[in-house]
Structures are given as structure tokens and as C-alpha cells.
Amino acid sequence: MRRAKTGDPKLAIGYIRVSTDEQRLGPEAQRAAIEAWADKEWVRIVAWHEDVVSGGSELEDREGLIRALGELRALHAGILVVAKRDRLARDVAIGVTIEKAVERCGARVASADGIANGDSAADAFMRTILDAAAAYERALIRARTKAALAVKKAQGLRVGSVPLGSSLAPDGRTLVVCAREQAVIAEAKGLRAQGLSMGAIAKGLNARGVKPRSGKVWHPHQVATMLSR
């Protein structure tokens, strides 16, 4: 693929990645960090894209990132900005792959925390170290999760996630219907059948004060996940 003309360093695409494995840096916090960085650097965020995937997911499995790469070219933006380096990937090889894809679009990756954003050999080395540390942390998270699930299974408790529209009974084993969530699902399905986008549905739910199971407000990816189940 031919490298695109270098984009404007004062225009950026914001990229947010959230994973069900880690809840410490939600989409709201990531967006706030990116916006604060943009204000400080006098950079304008011209588009936002989001993925709900593991940090070990390949580029082809990230619809949001693929769209972001397309808009780097279309909008001539010179930066793909993430809140932290580990939001890009938690795998060294995947991090390099994504970074090279961004470079082919005539842009560079920047982290809102300001770590290793330069183009020196030291910065490149630090980015590799950060990717390796993120991969190690991902492995630890998976190991802890596996151990916790093994304990719950040994106790006869439910180990799978509780699907939206249901809740866990006090015995820790039985699923019961959650009327409130079932009503939200039905409303969202009705709005989707009318042709509303995920973003429009999320906006409508937020306007009525309807809260998601996790987080303070609905995001398009949450609506998409809810409707896919």
C-alpha cells in the first residue's frame, strides 16, 4: 500500500479501546484524557472511533480502528491519539502492526499521557517496552481471572457473565429476569427497527436518564452489544 501524504499535525482522530477484561479506564475517562491532551497541544479532534475488544485483538478484528485509519487519510489528520499506549494494544507485535498502518496513512500515534511520543531512538525503544509491559499485564489479568473462575466453579457458583436482561439470584447460581433491563432491550430493538443508529439510540436513552448496567451513560458500542445478544 502506498504511503499517504503526511497529514496535518494539528488534526487528530481519537481512538478509544475498552475491554471486558479490564474496567479501570472506561470510555469516558479515555475521552476526557484525550480531550485534555488536545487542548494542551492545540490539536483539534476531528473524529472519534471506539472498539470493544481485547488488547490482543488483531487489526482486522477492530472495526473502529479500521474506520479511524480510513479517516486519517480522508480528513488528512496527522495523529491517531489514544489515552495511553496500552489502549492501542497489549501485544508487542500487534502494537507495531497498528503503528505501521498509521504511518502508511501519513500519521503517527500519540498517547495523551505524553509518554514516548517523540521520534527518537529512545522514544521508539520506550514504546516497545510499554507494549511488552502491557502484554505482561494482560497475561496477569487473564491468569487472575482464570484462577477466580476456577474457585467459583469449585464452589458450584455461576462462572459465566450474567446476560443483559437477567440478574443473578441470591444463591449465586440461578438467573432471574430483570424487568428493567428487558424493557430497555425491547425499547432499543424497537428504535433500531425504525432505522435509528446505535448513536441515536444511545442518545435517546441518555436523554431519558436510563442508566446502563456499567458506566454513567450509554455509548453506541454498548447499544450494539446489547442488540447483538
User: Same domain for 18 and 123?
Assistant: yes
- Which residues on adjacent β-strands are paired with residue 157? none
- Given 130, 158, 175, which residue is the final one in a domain? 130
Give this prediction's pTM: 0.65
Does residue 124 share a domain with residue 15? yes
Helix (H, G, I), strand (E, B) or coil at 78: strand
Q: Whole-angstrom Cα distance, residue 109 to residue 13? A: 10
Distance (Å, rounded) from C-alpha 40 to C-alpha 185? 40
Q: Residue 148: its pLDDT value, please?
A: 62
Do the domain assignments include residue 160? no
Range of the domain at 191: 166-228
Task: Tell whether 183 is covered by a domain.
Answer: yes
Confidence class of residue 10 from pLDDT cuts 50, 70 and 90?
very high
Same domain for 90 and 18? yes
| 91 inside domain | yes
CATH classification at residue 123: 3.40.50.1390
Report the C-alpha gap between 138 and 91 in whole angstroms: 9
| CA proximity to 49, closest of 227, 220, 223 | 220
Q: Are 18 and 52 in contact (CB under 8 A)?
A: yes
Answer yes or no: is pLDDT of 1 > 60.
Answer: no
- Supply the pLDDT for residue 139: 72
pLDDT tens-digit map of 152-163:
667 665 555 667
pLDDT confidence of residue 3: 63
Task: Give residue-wise pLDDT tens across range 26-74.
Answer: 888 999 999 999 999 999 999 999 998 888 888 888 989 999 999 999 9
Q: Are 115 and 184 contained in the same domain?
A: no
> Do 119 and 172 lie in a common domain?
no
Domain identity same for 85 and 188: no
Q: Is the dihedral of CA 147, 152, 155, 159 positive or negative?
A: negative
| 170 plus 219 within the same structural domain | yes
Bridge-based pairing of strands 166-168 and 175-177 is: antiparallel
Q: Indicate the number of domains in the chain.
A: 2
